[in-house]
Amino acid sequence: MTFAWFWVCFAVVAEIGAALALRHSDGFTRPLPTAIALVSFASAFYLVSLALLQLPVSIVYPIWAGGGTAGVALLSMILMKEQKGIWKVSGIVLVVLGIVLLNFVPGGHDI
């Protein structure tokens, strides 16, 4: 396992943190959540750029975007008491399954 995969994982975490902080920034009117969101978004982009030095964009970007999407949806239901439901949970599961399927492509190419 190369460091590139660590960068991807940290980028997903930074993306999730940024989105959750953005929710609390009240339209960039609260300085601390705003700063956390901006630094976290910048960190996520930087970490993805590091991962892309060693890994293909067709794998990194979906993991980053999908992992962030699924993580934000899941954590918003848990931490922010957002509505839960079969459709939302099913959507999260489908995003994760899509990411897993992308990683099973043999040799990184279409069959």
Quick one: pLDDT at residue 110? 45
Determine the Cα–Cα distance for residues 91 and 76; give it in Å rounded to an integer. Answer: 14
Quick one: pLDDT at residue 105? 65
pTM attached to this predicted model:
0.87
pLDDT averaged over 10-residue windows placed end to end, the chain, 111 residues: 89 97 96 98 98 92 93 93 91 90 65 39
> Do 91 and 72 touch, CB atoms closer than 8 A?
no
Look up the domain containing 47 and give its range. Answer: 3-108
Quick one: pLDDT at residue 106? 64
Quick one: pLDDT at residue 14? 98
> What is the total residue count of the chain?
111
Domain count for the chain, please give it: 1
Quick one: pLDDT at residue 81? 87
